[in-house]
């Protein structure tokens, strides 16, 4: 129903609104009798789509290859199903002393498959650089396509080992990423009997949901990207 003067007339909806009242309006034959209150307007909804940015710890831990494989599977699954939604996916990996955009924002399955064919791992953990690279990527993509809805998935155990005072630098970088306003999800890949809870702390700094990678298979990881509004700290059980 128009709030004021109708914009683009939605004819089928207008006819449907008028049809039940034809008897009370005295119509026996001929064209429908329309009243101003029957008018309906078309509401144009944007098809801006989503931008899902994976920020992945590719440093030299034993689980690095498993993390990268899970992200690669999720990226390809998202892009395969992204055509109707006009979604794009990007991948930022951090290792050694820097972060690298392995996959610029794309909707091409072929481009993603080619770029992610050989995923480098090893070295120290420059978490701050990864978070800042994600913030820069969001800034550039927002200039290119301001209506696209961003979502950032940070796959990390929360450790930071590169540079001076790496945890303090990571906290500052998290503040920069959080200031972009993009919703974030932290996928916690910490393992072992002793857990420091650094990824949980990072999630708090980002205002992000927190999930554990060891309970998330490729399909649920894909679900996090398409349905991020999950209860915080909910454990997602991988399907049998």
39 and 100 belong to one structural domain: no
Q: How far apart are CA 218 and CA 70, in angstroms?
A: 6
Domain that holds residue 30: 7-44
17 and 70 belong to one structural domain: no
Q: What pLDDT does residue 7 have?
A: 75
15 and 114 belong to one structural domain: no
Return the closest-CA partner of residue 116 out of 73, 64, 57, 63.
73
Q: What pLDDT does residue 110 have?
A: 85
Tokens matching residue 48: 């801006």
Q: Is 48 helix (H, G, I), strand (E, B) or coil?
A: coil
Q: What pLDDT does residue 239 have?
A: 32
Q: How far apart are CA 159 and CA 181, in angstroms?
A: 23
108 and 133 belong to one structural domain: yes
Q: What pLDDT does residue 237 have?
A: 33
Q: What pLDDT does residue 85 have?
A: 66
158 and 183 belong to one structural domain: yes
Count CA atoms within 13 Å of residue 170 on its CB side: 26
Query: Is 27 within the bounds of a domain?
Result: yes
54 and 172 belong to one structural domain: yes
* 8 Å CB contact between 156 and 57: yes
Q: What pLDDT does residue 108 have?
A: 86
Query: Is 236 within the bounds of a domain?
Result: no
144 and 102 belong to one structural domain: yes
* 8 Å CB contact between 50 and 148: yes
Q: What pLDDT does residue 173 have?
A: 95
33 and 84 belong to one structural domain: no
Q: What is the mean pLDDT of each run of 10 residues along the chain (240 residues)?
A: 81 92 90 91 72 87 70 80 75 90 89 81 88 96 90 89 87 95 89 77 93 69 64 35
Q: What pLDDT does residue 180 have?
A: 94
Q: What pLDDT does residue 193 have?
A: 63
141 and 36 belong to one structural domain: no
The structural domain count of the chain equals 2
Q: What pLDDT does residue 82 have?
A: 64
Domain of residue 218, CATH code: 3.40.50.410
pTM of the complete model: 0.70
């Amino acid at each position: 129903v128009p709030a004021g003067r109708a914009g683009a007339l939605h004819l089928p909806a207008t006819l449907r609104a008028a049809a039940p009242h034809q008897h009370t309006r005295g119509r026996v034959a001929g064209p429908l009798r329309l009243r101003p209150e029957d008018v309906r307007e078309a509401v144009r909804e944007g098809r801006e789509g989503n931008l899902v940015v994976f920020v992945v710890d590719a440093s030299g831990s034993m689980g690095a290859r498993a993390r990268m494989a899970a992200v690669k599977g999720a990226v390809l699954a998202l892009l395969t199903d992204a055509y109707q939604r006009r979604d794009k996916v990007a991948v930022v990996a951090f290792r050694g002393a820097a972060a690298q955009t392995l996959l610029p924002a794309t909707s091409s399955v072929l481009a993603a498959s080619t770029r992610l064919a050989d995923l480098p791992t090893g070295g120290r953990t420059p978490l701050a650089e990864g978070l800042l690279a994600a913030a820069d990527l969001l800034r550039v993509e927002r200039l290119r396509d301001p209506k696209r809805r961003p979502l950032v998935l940070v796959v990390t155990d929360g450790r930071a080992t590169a540079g001076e005072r790496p945890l303090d630098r990571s906290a500052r970088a998290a503040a920069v990423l959080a200031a972009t306003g993009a919703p974030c999800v932290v996928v916690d890949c910490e393992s072992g009997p002793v857990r420091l809870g650094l990824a949980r702390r990072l999630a708090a700094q980002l205002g992000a949901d927190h999930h554990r990678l060891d309970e998330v298979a490729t399909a649920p990881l894909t679900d996090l990207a398409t349905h991020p509004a999950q209860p915080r700290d909910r454990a997602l059980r991988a399907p049998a």
